[in-house]
Amino acid sequence: MFNLNLIIGAVVAAAVFGVGMFSGYKIEAAKVERLETELKRQEDVSKKATASLASAQQEIDQKLAQKDVEFKQKMDALQQDADAKRKNLEIAMAESSKRMGEMKNSMGALNAKLKEAREQLKNAAPGDQAALQSQIDILEAERKDLKSEFRGEACKDFPVPKQIIDALNGVKS
């Protein structure tokens, strides 16, 4: 009835097939396990790199914020310095204009004295002429000095070459 050889062959074939399937499963399972281990390792490396990147970015942001504060402080200091220089310049210009006005008044008074002394010289007696001439010489010397001072004050009205301004301000052209 039953063919024993056939049954034994079928059982052996089934056993071989089962062992082959089991060993194939184990081999592939080991590969999957290695891949899962590698994947987990790569995830850990990725997490560490992400944390390192976040830390570096935070450090860069802090340094940039610090540099921004330093830059703003320097800009404020420069602005205050520029404002102080501008104010001092305005004061100096106002004082210069005031001095020029005073010098014009002094020049007018000096010219009037000089004119009067010259008129007196024309009508003076020969003995008084030397004293009057001496007085005129003194007044003319004062007038010359006053003109020189006036020209010095008036120099602010003349343009200054850019190269000189740059040199005074420490700017390299």
Distance CA 82, CA 86 (A): 6
Distance CA 102, CA 150 (A): 10
- Residue 134 has a pLDDT of 87
Q: Burial letters for 124-154: b for 16+ Cβ neighbours within 10 Å, e otherwise? A: eeeeeeeebeeebeebeeebeebeeebeebe
- Residue 173 has a pLDDT of 61
- Residue 25 has a pLDDT of 83
**pLDDT tens, position by position, for the chain (173 residues)?**
567 788 888 888 888 888 888 888 888 888 888 999 999 999 999 999 999 999 999 999 999 999 999 999 999 999 999 999 899 888 888 888 888 888 888 889 988 988 888 888 888 788 888 888 888 889 889 888 888 887 877 776 666 677 777 777 777 76
Report whether 173 contacts 166 (CB < 8 A): yes
- Quick one: residue 170, left, alpha or beta (phi over 0 = left, psi -120 to 50 = alpha)? left
- Residue 157 has a pLDDT of 65
Model pTM score: 0.49
Q: Which residues have CB under 8 Å from 110's CB, separation 6+?
A: 139, 142, 143, 146
- Residue 37 has a pLDDT of 93
